[in-house]
């Protein structure tokens, strides 16, 4: 017999303490309620059902649920109304929407309203089991987190400014959802770090986080990289290969610089996301995949859609919720904290003492616009540590540009944006090459000539790719 709860069992539940999670199923079709209840009972989940919005709201006041599954259309309202009600009164309760097959507009509307995830009718049992398993992990993790002190070593976005406090709160909310998130912002603001935080704070944290730079994959290899291939499917395919979707199974796939995807690949990616299935090159069968999609770009996707370079339907699919990260110039009060963090990290890598920033240097950093954002700050401090004396970094060691620096064109190719850090790296490469040539590649002598320790020179050679 299934473990779902009939209306006659309400008093029994009220007096029974069970180790099994309790789910609320809301659907006006008895067959659907029965199917869902049987499936969940086999996962040791007890179920209470409601045939309309009114009954669902009443049950919510009477019991503590671990999960809610609701149909979109109900006799006295719709599932979106229930999602909003739960978000307002029971924000810790994951609620998933059951939508008609192919009705992506309703699914996206539900996700924007705060739904945890969605499943299509006719209900695929494998999809349902994956959704329920992940949602219950989220509920248990939330309970454990309330009793567990914060780990000081955890990855986080640094900053005490109100902007960063708000972003951290938003990330915590996004981590509770399975909605696709698009992370926007200029180069160097920490988009991949934000994506990692969404993954690490959510129920998928025990599964892989797979970042991929879409601009770094040759167009002719993209389909194989994303979806995999079968042995012999093309010249050079000497063995079966799993793609990025399979590598991220159960976890998160982060599509960085998603604007760089060519249009043919955008079509295939859209289908994979909507159908939650992929077909490796040379395979006759589709493979079900369970991944959460996060994406990012420093470009304006709206402009690219207008110019025909990015598909509007893919944009709406990956941009269910947008997280915008501010430029460093918008939060200058965070610069001292970030500078201190980078100086400690670089000193640990170099195995040297942590230098101090002079008042003039700190004032110069506060006044600088940082077109390269946090990444540029880190690079400037690395360079300053190689030039400073007596463990004191002065303003002259920072070598900041004297004039204003223009913003990069958001629609220009990534290789054409104004990378100050690349210019500084080229200067360092040239200086190190000259010192190595002058000393006949004696690294100890070259380090002495440059005024560096041997460890510092070895670190710079490795970081700059001069090995």
| 88 part of a folded domain | yes
Residue 227 lies in a domain: yes
**25-34, 147-156, 191-200, 372-381: segment of lowest average pLDDT:** 147-156
**pLDDT higher than 50, residue 11:** no
Query: 314 and 167, same structural domain?
Result: yes
The neighbouring-strand residues paired with 181 are 294, 321
Q: Would you say residue 139 has pLDDT above 80? A: no
Q: How confident is the model at residue 147 (pLDDT cuts 50, 70, 90)?
A: very low
Q: What is the pLDDT of residues 424-443, one digit of tens each?
A: 677 788 888 888 888 888 88
Residue after which a domain boundary falls, among 324, 346, 368: 324
Indicate whether 466 and 441 sit together in one domain. yes
Encode burial over 129-153: b for 16+ CB neighbours within 10 A, e otherwise: ebbbebbbbbbebeeeeeeeeeeee
CATH number at residue 253: 3.40.50.300
- At 155 the pLDDT is 60
The answer, yes or no, to whether residue 12 has pLDDT greater than 70, is no
The answer for residues whose C-beta is within 8 angstroms of residue 196's C-beta and 6 or more apart is: 155, 209, 254
What are 338-359's pLDDT values in tens digits?
999 999 999 998 888 899 999 9
Last residue of a domain, one of 256, 291, 324: 324
User: Are 361 and 256 found together in one domain?
Assistant: no
Any domain includes 154 = no
- The answer on 221 and 319 residing in a single domain is yes
For 49-101, write each residue's pLDDT tens digit: 999 999 999 999 999 999 999 999 999 988 999 999 999 999 889 999 998 86
Mean pLDDT of 171-175: 93
CATH number, domain of 90, equals 3.40.50.2300
Cα 294 from Cα 178, distance rounded (Å): 10
Domain that holds residue 49: 4-147
Quick one: 170 and 297 in the same domain?
yes
169 and 298 part of one domain: yes
The count of domains in the chain is 4
280 in a structural domain: yes
- Residue 153 in any domain: the answer is no
Whether 138 and 40 share a structural domain: yes
Got the DSSP string for 232-271?
Answer: TSSTT--S-B--HHHHTTTSEEEEETGGGS-HHHHHHHHH
| Domain shared by 319 and 380, yes or no | no
Helical packing angle, 443-450 and 420-438, nearest 10°: 120
Residues 34 and 102 placed together within one structural domain of the fold: yes
Per-residue pLDDT, 257: 96
CATH code of the domain containing 427: 1.10.10.60
Share of the chain above pLDDT 70, in %: 87
Confidence label for 122 from pLDDT (cuts 50, 70 and 90) = confident
pLDDT score of 208 more than 80: yes
Q: Are 375 and 285 part of one and the same domain?
A: no
263, 291, 324 - which closes a domain: 324
87 falls within a domain:
yes
Residues 392 and 450 both lie in one domain: no
Q: What is the mean pLDDT of the chain?
A: 85
Any domain includes 152: no
Q: Residue 463: is its pLDDT beyond 90?
A: no
Q: Is there a domain that residue 356 lies in?
A: yes
Q: Indicate if 409 and 423 belong to the same structural domain.
A: no
For position 361, which CATH number holds? 1.10.8.60
pLDDT at 361 over 50: yes
């Amino acid at each position: 017999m299934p473990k779902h709860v009939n209306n006659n069992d309400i008093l029994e539940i009220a007096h029974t303490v069970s180790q099994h999670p309790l789910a609320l199923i809301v659907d006006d079709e008895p067959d659907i309620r029965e199917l869902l209840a049987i499936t969940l009972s086999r996962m040791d989940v007890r179920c209470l059902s409601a045939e309309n919005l009114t009954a669902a709201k009443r049950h919510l006041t009477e019991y503590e649920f671990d999960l809610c599954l609701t149909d979109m259309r109900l006799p006295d309202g719709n599932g979106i109304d229930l999602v909003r009600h739960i978000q307002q009164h029971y924000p810790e309760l994951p609620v998933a929407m059951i939508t008609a097959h192919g009705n992506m507009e309703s699914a996206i509307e539900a996700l924007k309203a705060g739904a945890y995830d969605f499943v299509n009718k006719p209900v695929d049992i494998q999809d349902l089991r994956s959704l329920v398993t992940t949602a219950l992990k989220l509920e248990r993790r939330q309970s454990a987190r309330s009793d567990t002190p914060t780990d000081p070593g955890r990855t986080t976005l640094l900053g005490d400014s109100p902007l960063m406090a708000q972003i951290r709160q938003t990330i915590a909310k996004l981590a509770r959802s399975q909605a696709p998130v698009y992370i926007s912002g200029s180069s160097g603001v920490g988009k991949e770090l934000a994506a990692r935080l969404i993954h690490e704070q959510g129920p998928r944290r025990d599964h892989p986080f797979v970042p991929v730079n879409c601009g770094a994959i040759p167009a002719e290899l993209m389909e194989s990289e994303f979806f995999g291939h079968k042995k012999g499917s093309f010249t050079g395919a000497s063995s079966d290969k799993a793609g990025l979707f399979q590598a991220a199974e159960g976890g998160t796939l982060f599509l960085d610089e998603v604007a760089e995807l060519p249009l043919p690949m955008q079509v295939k990616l859209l289908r994979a996301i909507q159908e939650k299935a992929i077909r490796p090159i040379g395979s006759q069968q589709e493979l079900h995949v369970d991944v959460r999609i996060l994406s990012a770009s420093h470009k304006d996707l709206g402009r690219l859609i207008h110019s025909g370079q990015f598909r509007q339907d893919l944009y709406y699919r990956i941009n269910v919720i947008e997280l915008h990260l501010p430029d460093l110039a918008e939060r200058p009060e965070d610069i001292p904290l970030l500078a201190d963090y980078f100086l400690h990290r670089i000193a640990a890598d170099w195995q040297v003492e942590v230098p101090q920033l002079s008042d003039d240097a700190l004032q110069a950093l506060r006044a600088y616009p940082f077109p390269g954002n946090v990444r540029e700050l880190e690079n400037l401090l690395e360079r300053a540590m190689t030039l400073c004396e007596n463990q004191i970094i002065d303003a002259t060691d920072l070598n900041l540009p004297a004039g204003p620096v223009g913003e990069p064109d958001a629609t220009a190719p990534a290789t054409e944006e104004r990378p100050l850090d690349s210019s500084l790296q080229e200067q360092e490469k040239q200086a190190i090459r000259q010192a190595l040539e002058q000393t006949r590649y004696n690294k100890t002598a070259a380090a002495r000539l440059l005024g560096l320790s041997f460890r510092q020179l070895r670190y710079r050679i490795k970081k700059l790719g001069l090995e």
